[in-house]
Amino acid sequence: MTQRGVLDRRTLLRGAAGLAAFCGLNAASAACGGRKDAVRIATDDRWRQFAGTTLNFISENTAPTAAIAANLRPFTELTGINVNIVTLELTALVQKVALDLAGGESQYHVIYADPYQVLAPYSKGLVDLRELAADSSLPGLEGGFADFIPTQLDAAGRFGGGDEIFALPYDCPTMVWQYRADLFAKHHDRMADDLGFDPTPGAERTWEEYFRIARWFNDNTDDVAYGTGHQAKQHDSLQCDFSNVLWAFGGDYFDHGDRLGRYGTVEPGDCRLDTDPAIEAAQFYRRLLSIADPSSRTWDWNGLAPALTSGRIAMCPNWHEYAAGNEQAMPGKFGYAPLPRGTARSANIYGGTGIAINGNTLPNERRAAWLFVNWATAPRTQLANLASDAGGGTPTRESVYALPEVRAAEQRPSDLPNILTAPAVRKAWQPENIGLRPKIPMWNECDTAIYTQLSKMLAGDLSPADAMRETTARINRITDRGWSA
Amino acid sequence: MSLTATTPARNAAPPQRRGAPRRSRFGFHARMMAPGILLLAVLSLIPLFTVIAMSVSQVRLLGGVSFGFVGAENWARFLTDVDLALQWVRTLVFFVLTVGLEMLLGVGLALCLWKLLRGRNAVLGLLLLPMFVAPVIVGLLGRFLTDSTFGLYHWLLGLAGFEGDLLGGTYSAFAAVVLMDVWQWTPLITLIALAGLTSVPQSIREAAALDGASGWQALRSIILPSISGVLLVALLIRAMDAIRYFDIIAVTTNGGPADATKVVPIRLYETAFRFFDLGYAAVIGLVMLAVTVAIARAFVGILESKGLTR
């Protein structure tokens, strides 16, 4: 019954439904078609034309990003742009980036573009940075693209056969030989007498000598529990650790590995892990792991680093950016060298990454994002990160390594512990020594096949030859399926 | 008053009052239920049908999600995937071990607590603690405690003569992740079983005692049958969880070493969110869903046969 002037239940429900529909439509229109571009301010200062804009940068939780996050104020003061930094574990980052690109959104304007997990599969969703670098209304790239270390610009920034540059090299972790210099000095003469060669780590050492040094530590000292440790968990780290040996012995994942590593392709051809050099490398790797710390099979790079700094092992191959942590734990007791040679060469796997701009960004957002990408990879920012208490990596620009204060810091005592590795990584980055994984969009799946079969080999389930042949068959199946992003 | 009623002719049209509004096809109740049903459709049915569509498609992400129809290709791949078959076997072994151990230990602990007259609540409170920890934290705890550099359990096992690395061996790693799950979820079984035990009538137990039944006979013939319905519910809950076990393995072993702990949920995650092979991941997910539903139906069927669902 309805009384005059009193709302009955039906009217109330209708009103509520109408209001809900109105709100829903508004929300939907805001979500679907209401994206607004950043506002461009009329100013002569090319750095400040997007003041007031907010950018989102998604990055792996790495030391360089920790340093950037701690050192953002100069960028905000320079540009008036606020930057939100989201740091995640790499797998989670890749998921978020993929979903952002799939949704046609640019929730993340600036992307930490891992060459193998983001750049290769999603290069079509990233902006060609050459266009922004050439835009006269925007600040240019200090030193130009040529200031970046060439192998790194290719590996972290390009994909496919074109000239496009999708990312600027942002960090450059590279595996080097990390060792307890104090123990090598202490036992040098005895070791040299027993082994019959100078055990000092360096590019002239061979993997066979590395093996013998490790065994010598196992058998002859109580200073450490084991001579060597490795990152041989069933994880990406196992593939990285093995790749150093594979390339050193002349093996490779595919034909033309150098070109595949620098530029990448969608069609890599047949896998070559079933060749004799690859099998020889697998045999050596299994032998090496048999005398390594048994816990190596449970460590990734984050597990291996504390094993070295806690005094459990005398040496290991690990990413050079752990140097700062080493120096903090035992100042002055570590040394760094390029990884040993195999029958073919010394190979040091490169794990660097670039930062890219999401292709879904609107024009002004894109320009604002360029300001951040430009600043974050600028020489002065890289120098500041090198000295950051929050972590920091090593520079990706040649000009920074040439600075007198950086040159001076390569020797102890040094205020910039990461740069103590500079002589080792400089050799490691030379084209003949760098180790580059195949930059293919289906690498993640191939990577999993590689480290799973290697893990089976280390567990004794497969012989080295069978592991390599099985991996070859699996990789061929994966690449035969092709890729379409 | 007459109790006789006349039945209207079946085909006779109901009399319609002139000017009366035509009755809606959907009655009041249907209209009141509509928002809930729509919400359910959005939350369940649309994703389900989307996943089914994905399972016969190649899913592309760039430039907006798009499905390219590939027919039964993903399903054919599923039927010939030897690795996945092994992972299903591993999942079933894991399922039997975890659920079996949890039921045994949980009922055993519940019986001990039931007999405990003083401090039962305090002991129960302590016992329940693992259940309140997020599984991912249990995984991290397990990883740290078994770490060969600083892990307490590793050190204790070393004192007992175990030299290897718990998470480094294929059998020991599998046992470790089983035990982590058992540690976390046995208290749930204990709690449910204890609730069942407290509802066993005192009079029946006294009658059994007067008839001379031993403790074991009373347990086997009176107590366990009395709580069997409750135990089945516990089993149902844990069984459905165990088949989807993911967190602890992802944090501790990531499926290794040598695939020893790679169960189907880990493979599903890997396929969907590492390889972005969403079509094949949809197939794996749908089969997992079917298995989970089958297990649930089996338990509900047993409950129904016992007349416990009414």
Tell me the per-residue pLDDT of A58-97, one tens digit each, with 9 for 90 and over.
999 888 899 999 989 999 999 999 999 999 988 899 999 9
Please report which confidence band the pLDDT of residue A28 belongs to, taking 50, 70 and 90 as the band edges.
very low
**pLDDT for position B256:** 87
Domains of chain B plus CATH, in order, are 28-71 (no CATH), 76-305 (1.10.3720.10)
Unique residue bearing structure tokens 């002991």:
B123
- The answer, yes or no, to whether residue A484 has pLDDT greater than 80, is no
- The answer, yes or no, to whether residue B4 has pLDDT greater than 50, is no
- Work out the minimum CA distance from B170 to partner chain A, whole angstroms: 7
Could A234 and B274 be called an inter-chain contact, meaning their C-beta atoms sit closer than 8 Å?
Answer: no
For the segment A230-257, what is each residue's pLDDT rounded down to a tens digit?
999 999 999 999 999 999 999 999 999 9
**pLDDT for position B42:** 86
Unique residue bearing structure tokens 């509900």:
B300
Pick among B24, B145, B268, B274 to test the A interface (most A CBs inside 10 A): B274
Please report which confidence band the pLDDT of residue A7 belongs to, taking 50, 70 and 90 as the band edges.
low
**pLDDT for position B145:** 93
Which residues of chain A does B270 touch, with a Cβ-Cβ cutoff of 8 Å? 448
Tell me if ipTM is over 0.90. Answer: no
What pTM did the predictor assign? Answer: 0.83
- Number of Cβ pairs closer than 8 Å across A and B? 98
**pLDDT for position B17:** 52
Weakest-pLDDT range from A261-270, A450-459, B100-109, B293-302: B293-302
- The answer, yes or no, to whether residue A360 has pLDDT greater than 80, is yes
Which residues of chain B does A358 touch, with a Cβ-Cβ cutoff of 8 Å? none
Domains of chain A plus CATH, in order, are 54-172+352-402 (3.40.190.10), 175-349+426-481 (3.40.190.10)
Q: Which of A295, A312, A456 sits opposite B165 (nearest CB)?
A: A295
Could A102 and B168 be called an inter-chain contact, meaning their C-beta atoms sit closer than 8 Å?
Answer: no
A270 touches chain B (CB under 8 A): no
Which residues of chain A does B274 touch, with a Cβ-Cβ cutoff of 8 Å? 91, 94, 444-445, 448
Q: Is B244 exposed, middle or buried (0-12, 13-18, 19+ CB in 10 A)?
A: middle
A461 touches chain B (CB under 8 A): yes
A233 touches chain B (CB under 8 A): yes
Please report which confidence band the pLDDT of residue A30 belongs to, taking 50, 70 and 90 as the band edges.
very low
Q: Which of B165, B258, B273 sits opposite A298 (nearest CB)?
A: B165
For the segment A319-338, what is each residue's pLDDT rounded down to a tens digit?
999 998 899 899 999 999 99
For the segment A423-444, what is each residue's pLDDT rounded down to a tens digit?
999 999 999 999 999 999 999 9
- The answer, yes or no, to whether residue B11 has pLDDT greater than 50, is no
Q: Which of A91, A303, A456 sits opposite B258 (nearest CB)?
A: A456
- The answer, yes or no, to whether residue B208 has pLDDT greater than 60, is yes
Could A94 and B274 be called an inter-chain contact, meaning their C-beta atoms sit closer than 8 Å?
Answer: yes
- The answer, yes or no, to whether residue B149 has pLDDT greater than 90, is no
**pLDDT for position A17:** 58
Please report which confidence band the pLDDT of residue A416 belongs to, taking 50, 70 and 90 as the band edges.
confident
**pLDDT for position B3:** 41
What is the residue-averaged pLDDT of chain B? 88
Pick among B69, B146, B275, B280 to test the A interface (most A CBs inside 10 A): B275
Could A298 and B168 be called an inter-chain contact, meaning their C-beta atoms sit closer than 8 Å?
Answer: yes
- The answer, yes or no, to whether residue A6 has pLDDT greater than 70, is no
Could A445 and B274 be called an inter-chain contact, meaning their C-beta atoms sit closer than 8 Å?
Answer: yes
Please report which confidence band the pLDDT of residue B75 belongs to, taking 50, 70 and 90 as the band edges.
very high
